[in-house]
Structure 1
Amino acid sequence: MVGRPEVPGWYIIRMDFRGKRILAPLAGVTDTTFRRLCRENGADIVVTEMVSARGLLRDPVRSGRYLAYEEAERPVGAQLFGADPGEIAEAATEVARRGFDFVDINMGCPVRKVTGGGSGAAILANPRLAGEIARAVVRAAGIPVTAKIRSGFGTEKETYLAVTEELFAAGIAAVTLHPRHRGQMFAGTADWTQIAALKRAFPKGTIIGNGDVRAPEDAARMLAETGCDSVMIGRAAMGNPWIFGPFPAAEARRALILRHGEEMFLRHGEHGIKEMRKHLVWYSRGIQGAAAFRSELPKVTDPDSFRAVVGRFF
């Protein structure tokens, strides 16, 4: 019978993941600037973009750019992906050395570039490997370890229950379930009944729900319908760092957008301003005149042009 095994005595949980609003790791989005904005607007926990364990070990300077963070973000976790238990364990040691509060293992990314190497959602096809990876990371890290999973790798067999059993047996502090299988990518509807089933199977384990939370009321509904302990919000936070708390007035939104661009410029120069173009697309969603506004964005190349378009539109 599936159920949460006892946590090994050598593992000490030093962080409570229950009752939290968590910013999901999003490649190309959740850098240190955006994470801090989300923390200031109600996110309780934030996580870095996913980082290749192998890449971090081979080129810690280059991969380490994704691990930049500021004290104001705490508690902040670093997400790693890989398929080799030893590599991920060694990379987790480096994450702990850099002062992160916890490490998250990516076992859910559906992108072929990741799964083709046996990482991400591909791990779900082998629950025993998931346990081996988790066990190695927990023993090496010395800080809490979490994992983010999907329902399964293929459409025929959902493995999330078996994978979670292996993860909790290894000493994982919390499991996040995005209830879509790998083949769905982000299409269709997230099956929240699977989150509820996971919580019923592991009533003493910390289960974090993720998927199709597009507004604060969705988060409340997920908690009520599934019994999960916390909610993780991903794509809905893009252009909406206020999703974790009260939605501000227009002037406050404009001030935050301007600050976002200014801090990106200070950190990355004009490249940071160009990176802001995608954020401006997201910030403008649902606002009248957004299509015309987006047509102006290729001309946004420096702080002056950034402030000008933001001032006119927002």
Structure 2
Amino acid sequence: MNPVFIEKSLKAFLLEDAYFSDITTESLSQNKKAKAIIKAKEDFILAGAVFLNSLFKLMENDFKISLFKQDGELVKKGECIAEVESTDRAILYIERTCLNLLQRLSGIATKARKFAQLLEPYKAKITDTRKTTPGLRFFEKYAVKIGGGVNHRMGLFDAVLIKDNHIKAVGSIKRAIELARRNVSFTTKIEIECSDLEQVRQAIEAKADIVMLDNMSIGQMKEALNLFKGEAIFEASGNITEENVQDVAKTGIDFISSGSIIHHACWVDINMKLE
């Protein structure tokens, strides 16, 4: 993880909450030594604890964080996640930003773990999408990985994914793949979104590296995999839920992408209390 990026992002999160200052804390705080306990109020998979040290370093040089749980671990209701020793001013400034990050990321990690466990009997891996909260993509994708999922491309810059509008823009699947091959590095994989078997055939003939079976029925997925098995990496996408993900996996698909890992993940309940 790039520490410069992490520091810049965490600064932005703190600025959002206290752009000028924390007028309550500045009015009341004695800037004295204090201790706070971060505790779970329900069961979940922890994610985000790795950022606590960097977050507090932005506010206070003299602090100590004792982690009792690590990212990826199951935390039970009532268990202590961490103990923070710093000034009361720093703790009060950071409290909400810290909790927001832990609650959001742990919710995503918990949901990703459910998907990953459902797929354990199959070769398919669950992966995220670019349907992330603006400004939080890196952190949300980190949480997916912590939960046992696999990261898809981080953004528009690290992989080619040709979608229906790209195909319309250039005229055909063949033309789209040809142009991508001509203009990107040989190290870059090319993925193309297909909505029917004819598009899959065209993608395979044009030597796509990855074929996304988008919103296809289970029957269509099976047929595509039977016809073109081994000729590309296959990914299933579109309306993937915890209820149907195993049926999709049974087709023999390689990867299953689901935006719901992130945009349908519920925050978990965590609090921070001064002792």
Into which bin does the TM-score normalised by the smaller protein fall? Answer: 0.3 to 0.5
Per residue, is there more strand in 1 or in 2?
2
> Between Structure 1 and Structure 2, whose CA radius of gyration is higher?
2
Give the structure-1-normalised TM-score.
0.32
Higher relative contact order (CA 8 A, sep 6+): 2
